[in-house]
A and B are shown apart, each in its own frame.
Chain A
Amino acid sequence: MREINVKEITEAVKNLCMNANYDLSDDVMTAFRRGLETEESPAGRGVFEALIENAEIAREERIPICQDTGFAVFFVELGQDVHIESGLLTDAINEGVRQGYGEGYLRKSICDPFTRKNTGDNTPAVINISLVSGDRLKIIAAPKGGGSTNMSRVTMLKPADGIEGIKNYVVQRAIEAGPNPCPPVIIGVGIGGTLELASLIAKKALLRPLGTTNPDPQLAEIEGDILKRVNDTGMGPQGFGGRIYAMGVHIEKFPCHIASLPLAVNICCHASRHKEIIL
């Protein structure tokens, strides 16, 4: 049994919140540079130029790349041989969010759904915990903006809709989202499971580094097909017209009930923020 004090967790979460928002990861920066080289439309190239400059400013000045610093979403993998000392894991994470969003000059964007009153410190966080073997604690922060989340959907297709039905739905969703979710986007797709699991794996799919494909060749092929069709629409960066609307399509699948075919589409803007730490 290994002991981890909640103070250590809070400190780690605080830093994750700030760094995820200030420091766009290299996989996304690489995709921007590739976009700048390959995008045909001048307006589209202008967008990539601005996004590269924006990320550089944010990193240098330690300010967020986007003013919407997101809902604080975490994926936590807790080793079964870890004992959390002096408090609750979820409290420790929420305290880290409170400190990170406060001290890090991040925007507080969480409110009551009815009164719309802001909670004032960006809590509560959304925390997904899974138990794993070992004595380590892995925390992944994946803050998500409201604009691109609003363009995401979950649906229950009929089993008869099959792979074609899945592809058509995702492409149609991208067309309807259009310029709203700040393209160039990354499209996370969760296939199977239950209503809630499909959504969760669609979000998890977004954590995969941009530029990689699913190791399953069939899923990799579907990813490629959807990406081509979405980009062939011509919507382009910011919807100004061009070749690159999406920088990647990431699919994850899970077995589902014989009666159903759940499908979730989580559209993530170019501000695809995620940072992780292992304690």
Chain B
Amino acid sequence: MSDIIRLTTPLSDSDVGELKAGDQVLISGILYTARDAAHKRLIDLLDQGKELPFDISGQIIYYVGPAPARPGKVIGPAGPTTSYRMDPYAPRLMEMGLKGMIGKGSRSSGVIEAMKRYRCVYFAAIGGAAALIARSIKKVDIVAYEDLGTEAIRRLEVEDFKTVVVNDIHGNDLYKDGKEKYCIEGN
């Protein structure tokens, strides 16, 4: 395991280029949330030639549908959802300038290819560690699609949000490398 890297959004091409699969990264700044339903609407907007509800260039999308906040809290538990469901939409958003995605689980080869082409990194947050993750979220505003409830697009202000790089822009994949390293003969 490498040292811990600290990054602040928006991400530049050089920030992204230096990251390697397996790097532990603490992210501060802004994350935009979106999952299945919001992605569908974003792509519909692009298909109609309309503008997205936020400036996506250099930004990171966090695949999450938070639980409701208890009074006095900014957000409820907010861990990552499984990313492959966003695979059909992700390349279009990278084309628009998206620089990072946070979720959990494997991506398709198409998405991994698009990440190399558009210089975008895929980070994992720990799936199921939602109460802990919520502590690094300091402020929450709804940006669009409030009718979607938990699936609305939110703007999160985060401090030292813990992630690990799964896919970098050089084609490395932590899920493959990690498995190979610990695989016992015959599997």
Contacts and interface: CB of A to CB of B under 8 A. Distances in A.
Contacts of B178: 41, 43, 234-236, 239-242
Given A57-B132, A63-B131, A64-B130, 18 more contacts: A43-B22, A58-B131, A63-B70, A66-B77, A66-B128, A67-B66, A105-B70, A118-B149, A179-B104, A180-B82, A180-B106, A232-B184, A232-B187, A234-B182, A235-B175, A239-B105, A241-B174, A242-B182
A29 to B, nearest CB: 14
A40 B67 contact: no
A240 B131 contact: no
B72 to A, nearest CB: 10
Interface in A136-194: 147, 150, 178-182
A67 B129 contact: no
Contacts, number: 166
A238 B174 CA distance: 11
B51 interface: no
Interface in A49-91: 50-51, 53-55, 57-58, 61-69
Interface of A: 40-43, 47, 50-51, 53-55, 57-58, 61-69, 105-109, 116, 118, 147, 150, 178-182, 229, 232-236, 238-243, 269-271
B122 to A, nearest CB: 12
Contact of B183 (A65, A69, A116, A234): A234
A51 B183 CA distance: 23
B131 A57 contact: yes
B135 A179 contact: no
Contact of A178 (B67, B70, B132, B175): B175
A24 to B, nearest CB: 10
Which secondary structure dominates chain A's binding surface? loop
Contact of B128 (A41, A57, A65, A118): A65
Contact of A241 (B127, B131, B182): B182
B145 to A, nearest CB: 13
B1 A43 contact: yes
B179 A105 contact: no
B128 A54 contact: yes
The 9 A-B residue pairs with the shortest CB-CB distance in the complex, in nearest-first order: A241-B178, A234-B182, A234-B183, A182-B127, A180-B105, A232-B184, A54-B132, A107-B67, A58-B131
Contacts of B70: 61-63, 105
Contacts of B134: 63
Contacts of B49: none
Contacts of B106: 178-180, 239
B129 to A, nearest CB: 4
A206 to B, nearest CB: 15
A50 B126 contact: yes
A232 to B, nearest CB: 4
B126 to A, nearest CB: 5
18 contacts: A41-B181, A43-B1, A54-B132, A63-B77, A63-B134, A66-B130, A67-B76, A67-B77, A69-B67, A109-B150, A180-B84, A180-B106, A181-B82, A229-B187, A233-B179, A235-B175, A241-B181, A271-B128
Contact of A147 (B69, B76, B82): B82
Nearest to A57: B131
A151 B68 CA distance: 26
Interface in B125-163: 126-135, 149-150, 162
Nearest to A241: B178
B79 A240 contact: no
A108 B149 contact: yes
A252 to B, nearest CB: 25
A178 B105 contact: yes
Nearest to B124: A238
B46 interface: no
B30 to A, nearest CB: 20
Contact of A67 (B65, B84, B126, B186): B65
Contacts of A63: 67, 70, 73, 76-77, 131, 134
